[in-house]
Amino acid sequence: HRDLHSFPTRRSSDLSMKDSGPSAGEKSQQLARRRIGKLSHFSGNPEEWPAFYAEFNEGIELCGFSKRENLQRLRESLKGEAKEAVQGLLSAPENVPDILRTLELRFGKPDFVIEVLIEKARKYAPMRDDKFELIIKFATVVKNLSTTIMALKRKNHMYNPSLLKELIGKLPATWKTEWASHLLCSKIEEENLKDFSDWMDAKAESLSRICSPKAASDEKPAKESTPKQKERFPPKKDSVL
């Protein structure tokens, strides 16, 4: 009998090479792909561009999508005017960088995005004290504007005195007084949109405890009144001969 020790043995390094599964990075990407799913739709609304662009890049970073996969993500995501703007570029994976540049040029220029949000805030009419839900909505719009300005690194808009004065002018009289008291107590030397946004956000949170937003189903559509038309001529009676 041959000595058992004479048979060749497999080295541990060989076993590890053959039996090793996906690396930690590959496992992480596989989990991320299942979690992230498809890219959100984008139809050309400038308000949605920052979130859409961040989501697209996050998918690349976490999931390691290839150019071909990124092209497919864009094909499924883009709708309406956004898709029309890059329709001719959706044919090859190499065009993905050009697709993003075109979309940013048309819909995602930082100053353009901010201007759209500013106009949205400007559309609000001056509010009364009892319009709780409207004030909460306005606070949300101001918060979105401030957050977007910070994210896009356009701090010059934060210290726009005419814009801030216009937004403050939409508040009820009592709120204007409270804002002035807040500036005095907080010793804020230079008014800015960030401080105003944070103050409005805190006030809106307090209001939300006593004001619940109305559900769409609670709103009863107004019934259209259709006035009865008077008969111009009375109905003819059968003539008796």
- Please tell me the distance from the alpha carbon of residue 140 to that of residue 30, in angstroms, as a whole number: 36
Check pLDDT > 80 for residue 84.
Answer: yes
Model confidence pLDDT, tens digit, residues 91-107: 999 999 999 999 999 99
**Looking at residue 214, what DSSP letter applies?**
P
Model confidence pLDDT, tens digit, residues 129-170: 889 999 999 999 999 999 999 999 998 999 999 999 999 999
User: In the Cβ-directed half-sphere of 22, how many Cα atoms lie within 13 Å?
Assistant: 8
Name every residue whose Cβ is closer than 8 Å to that of residue 203 and which is 6 or more positions away in sequence: 135, 139, 175, 178
- Please tell me the distance from the alpha carbon of residue 210 to that of residue 205, in angstroms, as a whole number: 10
Task: Supply the pLDDT for residue 64.
Answer: 83
Question: What percent of the chain shows pLDDT beyond 90?
Answer: 60
**149-164 core/surface letters (b: 16 or more CB in 10 A; e: else):** beebeeeebbeeeebb
Model confidence pLDDT, tens digit, residues 3-38: 545 445 555 445 444 445 556 656 666 666 666 668
Alpha helices in the chain (DSSP H): 12-19, 24-36, 49-63, 67-77, 80-85, 96-107, 110-122, 132-151, 161-168, 173-186, 193-208
- Please tell me the distance from the alpha carbon of residue 64 to that of residue 30, in angstroms, as a whole number: 9
Question: What percent of the chain shows pLDDT beyond 70?
Answer: 72
- Please tell me the distance from the alpha carbon of residue 228 to that of residue 46, in angstroms, as a whole number: 48
pTM over cut 0.75: no
Task: Supply the pLDDT for residue 220.
Answer: 45
**Helix, strand or coil, per DSSP, at residue 146:** helix
